[in-house]
Structure 1
Amino acid sequence: MRVQNLRLLALAVFSFAVTCVRGLELIDSSLASACIYYEKTFDWGCHSHGNGAAAYRCRCGNVNWLGTITNCIANNTKSLRLRNHGFRHVARRCYEKGDFNYTLADMQRFYANGTGYLRDPTTADLSSPVFTTLRVNQTEFDWYYKKMKDLTFSVQRSQWFGWGLVFFWATIIAVTTLFNFNEKFVGLKLTDNWLARSLMIPSLFENMTQRYPRLRAISPGPHPNRLQALVVTAFVIQTIITVGVGYEMKLPHPYLTTRWFMNLDLVSYRVDLMALSLFPVIYFFGIRNNPFIPLTGMSYTTFSYFHKWCAYVCVVLAFIHSIIWTVYARHDGGYKMWAMDSYWQYGIAAMTLMALLVFHSFKLLRDKIYEVFLFFHQMMNIFFIVCMYYHLNKLGWLGWVWSMAGILCFDRAARIVRIILSGGLQKSTLTDCGSGVIKLTVMNPRFLTYRPGSYAFIYFMSPQDPWYYPWQSHPFTVLSTAKGKGIHGNEMAVYFKAQKGVTGHMLYKLLRSGEESINIRVMVEGPYGDTLPQIAKVNRRIVGVAAGLGVTAVYAQILHLLEAQVPEMGCKLYWAVNDLSHVSWFEEELKWLLSQKCQITILCTSPKELEETGSSFNTDNKLLEILDVRSLFARPDLRALVSEEVKEASDQSKDLTFISCGPSTFNIDFRASVSNTLRQKQSIDVALKEESFVW
């Protein structure tokens, strides 16, 4: 598909960008830095033996210093590449600190001119102005060169540790991709009930939420499972270990003049390079067009969890970096001067934006004002990239910044491509299904296939609506089949519950029209989610358990698996509703499942619905006779339901897959029910696929 090709192109661009990561300070050229620090010990008439801006303005205008420094570089390497790189390094330093704009050709002329005036240095040159070009004392210079190479190696090690964090996540992606491809295309059994019982099914806070139900109101989820929490724990432990090991530099050193400064500098390099290395991971895990979702089969919720923890770790590392240089600047007495530099100011701005990005992303705030959160989150991300560019443009490692910009541009471009291939601006039909449920139908796109279980973001485009509604998009599970098949034929169907905001406004327009259906222009952006086809045969019984509108996601997943299921395995659907009228708007889908020999049970949780069937249940009476409708007068006993299904599957020696979707509390309880059943030894393999409307 064209979208897949775009993903591959973006990955290639990203890979090229991060290979350009390198520093432009001391470690950019160990040879040039060694020459600069060696030659600054002589008196070049600048009244300074330092490397400040005033000293550079003086030395970079001194042809004798330029001839000396270029001869130092050229005479200590046989590599033309290293020599020219060292020349460029000196030219760059002269431009940044002395405002001299020298080219490589200029530096080569300084080298050729200075060669004719070389002499050996003397003790007097240390305190009396030098008016010629000097050779190096090879013994002394070799010490400078070794110390600079030691510093370069130490910084490179910090970058390797940063790459280690990247490869940690690359390993996680590779392993999960292997498991996902096996499940989709091969069908080998690679896990057992011990793994499911111990890590994959139990949530991290399962025991606490079951013991103290009120905690679910405080933290309704979704909660990570133990395996996801274990991955994050391993990531944090690796970060802590790699921050704390590998400091082998020794004094004396021409640049790191004290133990205190050496420790600050090396730790700062370590934490800031590791933080920079996490930038592309954070951005890839947070975008809609995350190419790893279809590869790994992991949900957006899972990647969002990893995205947040990578961001937390990155912010802590960046905060340590900021504290180190703030303490040093105040200790050195140069804070006021440093605070005037633009790179320092942009660094403060970037750190502030990082903190705001983390603190305004807490779930309580997201749930209350999601659209406001999303707008500011996106804007602050753009400003963060700009601040990081100006913070690093003189220091180096801009490849990490370009990777962030590239990922964001890739995501936006991919969104536009998806919208165009999905039909662009098109007509849709909104139908009032009752109880606040709306059905939206659009024509199937010509160039993309929306597989069951995928989802799309929908933009409602109407000039009569508030100006900000077209800028909002909401994810909806898509019910679609191939052209000419299934109940929807050439159409895609979406069901959603009207809430506040744009979905509530759509319901208002429907009710105000007085019609059962209205037409409205929309743009569809998709497909997203688990879009790989199920090729391997599914030798498992499928049991879907849904609450409320969660039936749309469960139905889509069942549809996806039924295409490859061995027929005699069997399929069931339990749907918990508090109003039997819901069955009427999902009537066609239920009939289609029945035609596939899927057993359907409606669990009515309202005590009076069954008595008022005649007034509230407007569907085919024949469907009532086929469906197993149970009035529970309360929430369903999920533990009993799970135990019953596991026992039945065990008696028939059939492996079992549960598919669940509903409100967060329902998902928590259902996951706990499956986990509780698996605590007892089972003769069959039991798996859980959980769909969630929140992240």
Structure 2
Amino acid sequence: MLISSRLLLLLTTLIQVCLSLVITDSHVASSCIYFLRKRSWQCSTAMGGHMSSSTWMCQCMNIEWLGSITNCIHDYANSTEELNHAYSHIVKRCNLRASTDYDVSEMKMYQANASSYLEDSELFPKGTNVTAPLSIRPSIFKTWYTTFRDYNYFVSMCQRLGWGCVGFWIGVLGLPGIYHYFGHRFVSFEQKQKFNKFFINKYDRVFLGFNRLEALICFVFFVVVLLMCAVNYNLELNAYLYNSWFLTIDCLSFRTDIIAFSLMPVFYLMGIRNNPFQYFGWMTHSTMIKFHKFIAIIFFVLALIHSVIWTDYANTTDGGGYAIWAKDAYFYWGIIGTTVIGLMLGLSIECVRNLWYEMFLVLHKSFAILFIAAMWMHCKTLEFLKMGLSTM
């Protein structure tokens, strides 16, 4: 009974982690958004770059854009479910980034009202000011639809790689429990002694406080993360990812970002004294803390790569300028989160921690709360909370 309850607790935790990492973007809506973004919508202020609130504010308040985007979705959604999903996509973006109060029924109303006034999008070339709701030719839209269908598949593949990282630690922490309950019966006393001698009780200085088994697990995990960040970049240049440089940084950014977020529940659970992994895995708290630190370092490196990529892109001409990006909540909360986790790691260095241990405890817990708040705010504007990941 005890084994069953612990196993159920472990599986429930894993399921909740996986359910929090599900993509909900509509590639129909994203295709329409980025096609129409190539036109001007009577914006009096400078348009921002990727995901800028100024861009959304301009578009979501423009009746011609609303008529165009809803008709685009209406024309190219393949089912009622996909239609409502795409309308919901627009509603969430506008309500969040432009402070509107739309609902799906209003999107349908905009579509119906604009349907009698549609003009061919080819009458308004890229960059020209739009003065009427637009229709999009199927031959032109196909390229954009294919672009975001493949892009969303890439992002969902990144999520599966993130689940793989979680699964690695489920295996690492679950196998000792299986051995404790069943496996020990099939291992002789001499084999146990030999294993303990060479792996459990061996603390070489080069392993920085880890025994050989712990060091081996961390090394294998490092290799796993490295491989997961390096494989399956099979997207080709397309309507959205228009040059090799942008294609590379965008794909690498989302890969590191999603894998990092996948690891957050794992290293947080390992950092507390009583957690389901510890109960089932029969590992000591000191071992869990070592893994907690190592995963936190991996997380920080991934987050830093993600942050550096978008900071560099924001400063480019295509990005629109750093000042525009810095106005958006998701951007500056991301900076705060990356900075805080870096400070937490710096304060966790043994010589610093031992010098002011009581102060370290207070700061570590305070920074942990601030980090959670920063990631919450960062993800809230990107809708990477209960409803999943939003990339567009």
TM-score class normalised by the smaller sequence: 0.7 to 0.9
Q: Which residue number corresponds to residue 313 of structure 2?
A: 328
Partner in structure 1 of residue 231 of structure 2: 245
- Contact kept in structure 2, 1:42 and 1:49, CA below 8 Å: no
How big is each residue's C-alpha offset from its partner over 1:467-517, in whole Å with a ceiling of 9 and x where there is no partner? xxxxxxxxxxxxxxxxxxxxxxxxxxxxxxxxxxxxxxxxxxxxxxxxxxx
Q: Does 1:395 align with 2:386?
A: no
C-alpha separation in 2, matches of 1:383 and 1:340:
20
Query: Shift of residue 230 of structure 1?
Result: 0.8
| Correspondence for 1:312 | 297
Alignment of 1:122-161 (within 5 A): 122-124=122-124, 130-161=130-161
Instruction: Give TM-score scaled by structure 2 length.
Output: 0.85
- How far apart are the structure 1 equivalents of 2:328 and 2:387? 22
Q: What is the aligned partner in structure 1 of residue 288 from structure 2?
A: 303
Q: CA, structure 1 residues 294+125, in 2 after alignment: closer, same or farther (shift >3 Å)?
A: closer
Which of 195, 198, 222 is equivalent to 1:236?
222
Residue in 2 aligned with 1:188?
186
Shift of 1:17: 5.8
CA distance in 1, matches of 2:80, 2:387: 28
Partner of 2:167: 167
Aligned mates of 2:105, 2:18 — CA distance in 1: 29
* Separation in structure 1 between the aligned mates of residue 166 and residue 122 of structure 2, nearest angstrom: 51
Q: Which has the higher strand share?
A: 1
Partner of 1:226: 212
Q: 2:23 aligned with 1:37, yes or no?
A: no
CA contact (8 A) 1:88 1:104 kept: yes
Write the distance in 2 (CA, Å) between the matches of 1:40 and 1:194: 67
- CA deviation after TM superposition for structure 1 residue 46, in Å: 4.4
Q: Is the 8 A contact 1:17 1:400 kept in 2?
A: no
Aligned residues: CA RMSD: 3.3
In the alignment, the residues of structure 1 paired with residue 187 and residue 132 of structure 2 have an alpha-carbon distance, to the nearest angstrom, of 77
Would the alpha carbon gap of residues 75 and 200 (structure 1) be closer, same or farther in structure 2, given more than 3 Å must change? Answer: same
Q: Which amino acid aligns with 2:95?
A: Y
Q: 1:280 aligns with which of 265, 268, 271?
A: 265
Shift of 1:109: 1.1
Counterpart of 2:27, as a letter, is S
- CA 1:232–1:126: 2 relative to 1, 3 Å: closer
Distance in structure 1 (CA, Å) of the matches to 2:370 and 2:69: 40
Identity of aligned residues (%): 33
1:343 aligned to 2:330?
yes
Paired residue secondary structure (1:224): coil
C-alpha separation between the residues in 2 aligned to 1:164 and 1:263?
22
Alignment of 1:578-597 (within 5 A): none
- C-alpha separation in 1, matches of 2:23 and 2:66: 23
AA at the equivalent of 2:262: S
Work out whether residues 198 and 212 of structure 2, in 8 Å CA contact, stay in contact via their aligned partners in 1: yes
Structure 1: state its 5+ residue gaps: 210-218, 402-695
Mapping for residues 39-54 of structure 1, pairs under 5 Å:
39-42=36-39, 44-46=41-43, 53-54=53-54
- Check the 8 A contact 2:43/2:58 in 1, yes or no: yes
- Tell me if the contact between 1:73 and 1:87 (Cα under 8 Å) persists in the aligned partners: yes
User: Do 2:161 and 2:228's aligned partners in 1 also have CA atoms closer than 8 Å?
Assistant: yes
Output the CA distance in 2 between the equivalents of 1:132 and 1:58. Answer: 15
- Is the 8 Å Cα contact of residues 201 and 226 (structure 1) preserved in structure 2? yes
Q: Distance in 1 between matches of 2:68 and 2:117?
A: 9
Distance 1:179 1:127 in 2: 65
Q: Secondary structure at the match of 2:202?
A: coil
Partner of 1:378: 365
SS at match of 1:231: helix
Unmatched runs of 5 consecutive residues or more in structure 2: none
Q: Look up the match of 1:203.
A: 202
Per the alignment, residue 667 of structure 1 pairs with none
The aligned amino acid for 1:38 is F
How far apart in 1 are the matches of 2:386 and 2:199? 37
Alignment of 1:386-465 (within 5 A): 386-399=373-386
Aligned mates of 1:169, 1:274 — CA distance in 2: 13
Change (3 A) 1:58 1:353: closer
Name the aligned partner's letter for residue 204 of structure 2. F
Task: Work out the CA distance in 2 between the residues paired with 1:72 and 1:272.
Answer: 31
Amino acid of the structure 2 residue aligned with 1:70: T
Q: Partners of 1:199 and 1:137 in 2: how far apart?
A: 69
Larger radius of gyration between Structure 1 and Structure 2: 1
Alpha-carbon offset, residue 282 of structure 1:
0.4
The letter of the residue matching 1:205 is: D
Superposition deviation, residue 249 in structure 1:
1.8
Q: Which letter maps to 1:294?
A: Y
Distance 1:400 1:92 in 2: 11
CA deviations 1:563-617 (Å, max 9, x no partner) are xxxxxxxxxxxxxxxxxxxxxxxxxxxxxxxxxxxxxxxxxxxxxxxxxxxxxxx
Show the counterpart of 1:21. Answer: 21
Show the 5 A alignment for 1:55-70.
55-70=55-70
CA spacing shift, 1:344–1:12, aligned 2, 3 Å: same
CA distance in 2, matches of 1:243, 1:205: 30
Deviation for aligned residue 1:49: 8.9
Q: What's the secondary structure of 1:287's corresponding residue? A: coil
The answer (yes or no) to whether the contact 1:155–1:270 under 8 Å persists in 2 is yes
Higher RCO (C-alpha under 8 Å, 6+ residues apart): 2
**1:324-350: CA deviations, max 9, x gaps?**
122222334611232233322222211
Contact 1:277-1:400 at 8 Å conserved across structures: no
Check conservation: 1:40, 1:50, Cα contact below 8 A: no
CA distance in 2, matches of 1:319, 1:195: 41
Does the 8 Å CA contact 1:40/1:49 hold for their aligned counterparts? no
**Residue 199 and residue 278 in structure 1: after superposition, are their counterparts in 2 closer, same or farther (change >3 A)?**
farther
Structure with greater helix percent: 2
Shift of 1:113: 2.2
Distance verdict in 2 for CA 1:287–1:53, change over 3 Å: closer
CA contact (8 A) 1:23 1:395 kept: no
Contact 1:282 1:307 in 2 (8 A): yes
User: How many pairs are equivalent?
Assistant: 381
Quote how far apart the aligned CAs of 1:132 are: 4.2
Confirm or deny: 8 A CA contact 2:174 2:277 kept in the other structure.
Answer: no
